[in-house]
Chain A
Amino acid sequence: MAVVPKFVGERIKRREDPRLITGTGQYVDDVRLPGMLTALVLRSPYAHAKINSIKLDAAQKVPGVVAVLCGDDLKDKVGSVPCVAPAEHVPYHPVLAQGKVRFVGEGVAVAVASDAYIAQDALDQIEVDYDPLEAVTDPEQALEAGAPILHDEFKTNSVTLASVPNPAVDEAMNKADKVIRFRIHNQRLAPVPMEPRGVVARWEPGYKQLTIWSSTQIPHLMRSQVADMLKLGENKIHVIAPEVGGGFGAKLNVYAEEALISHLAITLKRPVKWIERRRENLSGTTHGRDQIVYLEIAANKDGEVLALKGRFICDMGAYLQLLTPAIPGFSGLMMTGCYKIPALAFDQQMVFTNKMATDAYRGAGRPEAAFIAERTMEAVASEFNLDPADVRRKNFIAKASFPAPTAGGLVYDSGDYELTLNKALDQIDYNKTRAEQAAAAKEGRYIGIGIASYVEICGIGPSALLPPKLKGGGWESCTVRIEPDGKVTVLTGVSPHGQGQETTFAQIVADELGIDIDDVTVVHGDTALVPYGIGTFGSRGTTVGGPALMMSVGKLQAKMKRIASTMMEVPPEQLEFRNRTIAMASDASKSIALQTVIEAAYGYKTVIEGVEPGLDATSFYEPSACTFPFGTHVAVVEVDSQTGQVKFLRYVAVDDCGKVISPLLVEGQIQGGIAQGIAQALYEEVKYDEGGQLLSATLMDYAVPKANMLPHYELLSTVTPSPVNSLGVKGVGEAGTIGATPCAYNAVLDALKRLGIRDLDMPLKPETIWRAIRDAKKA
C-alpha cells in the first residue's frame, strides 16, 4: 500500500468505549428475557467426600422454586465437561458431582427459581449427607504411596508424565564450572476477571434452537463442545459472547454451567440465567500456575549458561478442564528464554489434587518459563559475582541470529534483546542507580534493582501445534463485507473482551480501503453472524485475527480493482485505494469514486467475467509459525527491613511487540499485564489448607492489587516487525505479565542480596521478607 496510513499507528480513541462509559454495554447479567428464571448452584464444602444422599424435596417446596436437581438427575443427559488436551488419564467430569466430590466448590445441586433470593432460599433447604474422605492438596504428596486417590479408576494421582530427555544436558553438567540447583514454585493464582462468569440459555421448542449467552473468550469452540455434551447439532446452537468483563484465560474454557444451564432451559422450556458469585469464581473458575520446578543450571565462571534441566511437578487440580494438561508444555519449551542456552532437558509430572483445576491464566506457561530463565540469570550472576545485566548480555541470542532455533525446538522469528535491555538500563540510569543503591546501603536501607528480559510465544501458530480434539486449529477467520451504502462490516472470529479489536481492526480497514474509520463496524462473539472462529487468547487477536482480516480485505480490494479497472480501462495493478476513491498510483487525478465501484458490484448491471456480484469475502488464515514478542523490564524498589513492606521507586518497561496498530491500546495491554505480573510476585496466592479448604475464597483475602499498591509505569518500546505475518505484529496481551513477575521478584531479592538471601517463595509478602531478613541477621 503506497498511501501513508491515516489510522494505523495513531492513538485512536476506542470505538468500544461510548457504550461502556455510559453504562449501556450489555454483559450476560444484563440480558433480560421474558419468563427468565434464575439458577444458583450448591457447592461442596468438602475437598474430598463421598456423597451418601441428597435430599431435595424441602428445597423443591419453597414457593417460587421451579426445579431443583442434583448430579444423579443428569446422568446420561449431559456429557462430561471436556478436556481436549492429551493426557494419560482424563477423568469423567460431571456437570454436577455424582457419588463423590473432589474439591471445595464443586457443583452438587442446582436450584432454579423466579429470582436469585428464592433460589438461595432453596439451596439452604438442600440436605447433603457427605462422608468426608482424606484429601490431598500438595502435588508432591499426592504422588507418594498411600496418598488418597482422587479417581479410583486410575489407581494413581498421576495425570501424565511428559519427558523431553537430552544427553547433551548431562554432558554439559559434567563439563560446566558449576551446576546450580534450586527449586521454584510458581504459586497458584486466580485470574479474577472483574465480571465473574455467567450463562443465559434460551430454548425455542418450535425451532429446536438453543441460544447461549456466555461470558466466554471462545464462543465457537465452546459451542462445539456443548453440542457434544448435549448431543445437539452445532447448527442448533447459537452462542453469543456479549460484552465480556475480562477473561485472562479463565474464560478460555468450557464449563459445567454452560451445559447445565442449557439443559435446564431445554427441559424447563424457559430461559434460565446463572451468574457466578465471587466465591464461586474464586473456588470454581480455573486457576493458573501452581507449578514446581527443580532446576539445574550448568554454567561457567564467565556467566555462560551451558544447559538447563528441569523436573516439573504441575498441579492440575481435581479434574481436567479444556486445556489443563497442555499449559505446562510451554514452560518447558520456553524456559531458555532469550538466551542461546544450547542444551535443554525436562520432564513434567502432572498431578491430580483436591483443588480446582488449573488452566490458562494470562501468559499460560510462559510466565513460569520467563521466571525460570530470569532466575537462572540472577543465580549465575550471584554465583560468580557478576553484574546481572552482563550475564544477560553474555547469553542473549544475538540480533544477527534470527530466525533463531532454540534448544526447545522452537524458531524465534525476530528480535533484538540487547537493545531492549540497554534502553531500559539507560532509562533507569543503571550506573547512577547502582551508586544510589550502594549509598543507601551505607545508611542501612535496602534498595534493589530488578532486571528481567523476556521472550514469549504468541499467535500460536500452525494448527498442528494445537490439540486434535479442540475442533479448531491455530488459524483464525474473518469476513469483510462492504455494504451497498459503502459502510464496512467486519465479522471476526476472534472474541475480544477488552483488547479493543473493534478499534484496531477498524483502523486497518479504514487505511486499506481509504475510508473513514467511522464507516467500519467490527462484529464479534456471535456464532450466528461470524464465521467459525477460534477466539481470543494467547495474544492472538491481532496476530492471527489481523492477517485473516487482511486476507479478506485483500480479496475485496482485488475485486474492486478489477471492477474499477474495467470501468476506467486501466490495468488493475496500476490502481490503489485513496481517500474514498480508487485512483491510479501514478496519477491521482485519474480516479473513480469507491461508491461507484461498490454500486457496480451490487447492481451488477455490467457483467465482468470471473467477478461475482456483491462485496463479501471470508478468509481463514493459517499462520506458518508463531511470533515471539520480547522486552526488558527494570524495577527499583525499597524494602522496609522492619516490616518487610516493598515500595516501588521506579518501574521501566521496554517492550517490543512488532508493528503497532494502536500505541494507546498497546500501552493499556502492557500496563495491565505488568499489574498482574507484579501481583504474582508480591501479592496474590490461592491458598488451600492441608484439608483442601480454600482460604482465599473472597476478595477480602485474595489480594487483587489496588491502585495504591502498584507503581507508575514508564513505558518505552522498540519495534522489530515479525516476518511471520503481513501486519508485522507479534502480540501484546501477555507480554507485560511475563516480564513483570521476574522483574519485581528480582528487584526485591536484589535489595536483600547483601544479607545473603537468594531464594524466597512468591508472593513476597511482608512477612516472608521480614522472616528472611530476621533469619539472615541471626545467622
Chain B
Amino acid sequence: MLLNLTINGEQRSDNVDPRMLLVHYIRDIANLTGTHVGCETSICGACTVLINGSAVKSCTILAVQADGTKITTIEGMAEGDRLHPLQEGFWEEHGLQCGYCTPGMIMTAADLLARNSNPTEAEIREALEGNLCRCTGYQHIVKAIQFAAAKMRTSKAA
C-alpha cells in the first residue's frame, strides 16, 4: 500500500507491504542504515527514531502506521557538516565505543532534552531505561548528554 511521509526533511512516497516494520522501511527502502536493530522485543532501543519529534522504537511500529508523519533519523541530526550538540557531546565525552547503540541513544536523548533542558544525572539514567549499551557502562553517555544540554542551553540563551 502507498505510504507517504517525510524523512529527514525529504518527502517520500513508497509502496510497502503492510507487514513491513518501520525500521525495515527506514533501512531497506529509504536506505538510511544508521538506525539499527538490536533485539526483537522492543527493549534495546537501537532502532529509536523521532516521529513528529517523539522518540519511538521503529521496530514496534508498522511502516504504514507512520503515514503522514515526519520522521527524523540519526542521518537527519546534523545540519550539513555542523553536528547536532548531542553528536558533539558523544564525540567529546567518548560516549560510544562500538557505536551500534549510539544512534538510538542520541534520538532518545533528543526527546529528553526537548522536555528537560537541564536534566540531572539521575534523570538522564532514568530516561535511558529504553536504550541498552554494552560497551560504555553509560557514564560517558550521561556526560555526553550533559554536554549537549549545556551547549543547547547556551545557544538558546544567546
Contact = CB atoms under 8 A, between A and B. Distances in A.
Direct contact between the two chains A and B in their complex (CB within 8 A): yes
A664 interface: yes
B29 to A, nearest CB: 11
Contacts of A311: none
Given A117-B19, A699-B41, A21 B83 contact: yes
Interface string B85-110: 00100111010111111110010000
B85 to A, nearest CB: 11
B100 A22 contact: no
A222 interface: no
Contacts of B34: 22-25
B75 interface: yes
Contacts of A117: 17, 19-20
A354 B83 CA distance: 50
Interface string A691-723: 000000011100010111010110000000000
Nearest to B92: A13
A676 B27 CA distance: 30
A27 B134 contact: no
B33 to A, nearest CB: 4
Given A671-B136, A699-B44, A706-B129, A497 B17 contact: no
B61 interface: no
B125 A22 contact: no
- Secondary structure class of chain A's binding surface, majority of residues: loop
A667 B75 CA distance: 28
Interface residues of A, number: 58
Contact of B44 (A21, A27, A32, A194): A194
Contacts of B20: 117
B124 A499 contact: no
Contacts of B7: none
Contacts of B137: 671-676, 710, 713, 736
B94 A193 contact: no
B33 A30 contact: yes
B91 A248 contact: no
B91 A194 contact: no
Interface stretch (A238-246, A570-578, A744-752): A238-246
Contact of B96 (A21, A116, A195, A708): A21
B132 A699 contact: yes
A759 interface: no
A23 B103 contact: yes
Given A278-B40, A706-B128, A194 B139 contact: no
A57 to B, nearest CB: 24
Contact of B40 (A279, A664, A672): A279
A17 interface: yes
A506 interface: no
Interface residues of B, number: 59
Interface string A170-205: 000000000000000000000011111000000000
Interface string B74-86: 1101100001000
Given A665-B94, A699-B132, A708-B126, A675 B138 contact: yes
Interface in A308-328: none
Contact of B37 (A23, A29, A246, A704): A29
Given A16-B99, A23-B34, A246 B91 contact: no
A405 interface: no
A706 B17 CA distance: 34
A192 B39 CA distance: 10
Given A675-B137, A707-B124, A699 B75 contact: no
B133 interface: yes
Interface string A665-690: 10110011111100000000000000
Given A195-B36, A706-B129, A17 B17 contact: no
Nearest to B46: A194
A440 interface: no
Interface in B46-91: 46, 73-75, 77-78, 83, 87, 90-91
Nearest to A18: B91
A534 to B, nearest CB: 20
A21 B148 CA distance: 13
Nearest to B28: A115
Given A13-B91, A117-B17, A710 B40 contact: no
A245 B91 contact: no
Contact of B134 (A17, A246, A278, A499): A246
26 contacts: A13-B91, A14-B91, A21-B74, A21-B83, A21-B103, A29-B36, A117-B17, A117-B19, A194-B36, A243-B98, A243-B100, A245-B100, A277-B40, A278-B39, A498-B99, A671-B137, A672-B97, A675-B136, A675-B138, A698-B40, A704-B132, A706-B125, A706-B129, A707-B141, A708-B126, A736-B137
Minimum-distance CB pairs A-B, first 3: A23-B34, A245-B100, A20-B99
Interface of B: 17, 19-20, 24, 27-28, 31-41, 43-44, 46, 73-75, 77-78, 83, 87, 90-92, 94, 96-103, 106, 121-122, 124-126, 128-129, 131-142
